[in-house]
Chains A and B, each alone.
Chain A
């Protein structure tokens, strides 16, 4: 998928995830494969229940029991830490802590899920720096304020001391982006980062992700259900349906000349493509 001949940053091969519930085994992801090149953006598109979020969570090994990765491999070719086989890492593996929030970080649909309500936004970002980088408390603080400014918070040194509930949804999402990017990850996973936001705020947040991505050179795995957001953000697309990737390719060919019937049906359901009834 990458334009150059270098090997992709992330390679997911035949990933399978099942949930072992008392009522039976639910196979949420059944053999998903895709790759993301360095600095590229891949969008995983699908409706609720298609397995896109489970796939993203698997990369960070966030699948909780009764869920379990039952097969496949997730290879991260980190420039800083070498090749890491994420699917094989143990729960307590030191490397996993380096990956989470360091090499790979994540922003969520609802920013409050990622923010602690009882800590100031500044201290939460500084904590991430202290966990992943060898910095003093003072340096972490300065770096945090710099990052808050970068994501567009006015008066970052004032915002440093505010609590998440004092911020609007758009501002909270900016804080989460600051937290995710402050350790300069090689891969950013963005799970529906703008679904809960107004269209004008969405435009600003998407623009911010693009700008910072370019600046840091990180790759983005964008989880989305909105083809508009996908078309504007992604280089490549993988369409998921019932736990498998039904179609993938570069954004233009998939959106303009979809090959699979499911992709076509999704595109036909777009309000902008429908003729008035």
Chain B
């Protein structure tokens, strides 16, 4: 499952092994005893080469977002390791680091969120939002800060005067560009895109995807691209991991996933995508097929 992922220096940028996140299900009332555990992420392993784009696809509840959040330590995983190769040559296990040790490393791994409304503070100007990571990490201030904000805004296709405005004055696509600028200003090596284009109209989505591709070439970015839209993944990712019930059921180069899916679940998922060609009929009967798959899981 991990073949062909080495970077130029022979080491993957990110190496995830046995990543697991269990959430306890508590009983009602005062005593709050643990009734069961939900295995949101269950022994997930994959490598991510420098400059690569890996798509993480699955339905809601499949654990794709939880996996992404565990990797960035937005939440703490229950078990597993996340080896991250730093630009200075060191390799660290993100799972084992304390909050204090983690902070300087966070600049190398950034995130772009799905909802461009809730992920931008409405009371901060765009300039303050985009510059905030530099302030938090004390990497720039004053003239230099303003200069770098202007530079990164220009790079994502926004105007310098936009930095004085507030997020509400922008369209969905522009807001997503602001989110990308905020991630990019840290000069990260890894960007986790959590449904970064899901809320956008198709033509705006195409522009944002183009921008992400350009930035990847220019800054040699590595993307972990969490998405539910298989069509987007198909044209954007080098490899795809399909998740179901907390596990990766299939991981393969994108072309192979789409032309020759191996796992029954991947096949069902692909058959449910409505084709824009009226002569290619989609499968309306996925409910029964998924039920059969669930029954097979039980036995």
A residues apposed to B, CB below 8 Å:
47-48, 152, 169, 198-204, 206-207, 210, 225-233, 251-252, 255-256, 265-267, 269-277
Could you jot down 28 A-B contacts, CB within 8 Å?
A199-B230, A199-B273, A203-B274, A203-B282, A203-B285, A204-B284, A226-B202, A226-B274, A227-B202, A228-B231, A228-B274, A228-B275, A228-B282, A231-B275, A231-B276, A232-B278, A233-B274, A252-B278, A252-B279, A255-B278, A265-B203, A266-B203, A270-B202, A271-B209, A271-B235, A271-B236, A273-B276, A277-B210
Given A206-B284, A225-B201, A271-B234, decide whether A199 and B276 contact each other with a Cβ distance below 8 A.
no
When distances are taken between beta carbons in the complex, the residues of chain B under 8 Å from A201 are: 59
When distances are taken between beta carbons in the complex, the residues of chain B under 8 Å from A206 are: 274, 282, 284
When distances are taken between beta carbons in the complex, the residues of chain A under 8 Å from B214 are: 277
**Contact code string B225-267 (vs A, CB < 8 Å = 1, else 0):** 0001111101110000000000000000000000000000000
When distances are taken between beta carbons in the complex, the residues of chain A under 8 Å from B59 are: 198-201
A202 to B287, CA, bound (A): 10
Option from A200, A231, A269 in Cβ contact (under 8 Å) with B272: A200
- A228 near B235: Cβ-Cβ < 8 Å: no
Chain B CB within 10 Å, residue with most, of A199, A201, A233, A251: A199
A228 to B283, CA, bound (A): 12
Known: A207-B284, A226-B274. 20 other contacts (CB 8 A): A199-B59, A200-B290, A203-B272, A207-B287, A227-B202, A232-B282, A266-B202, A269-B203, A269-B205, A271-B202, A271-B205, A271-B206, A271-B229, A271-B236, A272-B234, A272-B275, A273-B276, A275-B235, A277-B210, A277-B213
A19 to B268, CA, bound (A): 45
* Closest B residue to A262 using CB positions: B203
* Closest A residue to B201 using CB positions: A47
Given A231-B274, A251-B278, A271-B206, decide whether A207 and B269 contact each other with a Cβ distance below 8 A.
no
Determine how close the nearest CB of chain A comes to the CB of B212; give it in whole angstroms. 9
Q: Taking the complex as formed, is B286 at the interface, i.e. its CB lies under 8 A from any CB of chain A? A: yes
Option from A265, A266, A272 in Cβ contact (under 8 Å) with B231: A272
**Contact code string B190-229 (vs A, CB < 8 Å = 1, else 0):** 0000000000011111100110011000000000000011
Determine how close the nearest CB of chain A comes to the CB of B293; give it in whole angstroms. 11
A256 to B278, CA, bound (A): 9
- B203 near A199: Cβ-Cβ < 8 Å: no
Chain B CB within 10 Å, residue with most, of A47, A48, A228, A266: A228
- A47 near B202: Cβ-Cβ < 8 Å: yes
When distances are taken between beta carbons in the complex, the residues of chain B under 8 Å from A207 are: 284-285, 287
Given A199-B59, A199-B269, A203-B272, decide whether A47 and B203 contact each other with a Cβ distance below 8 A.
yes
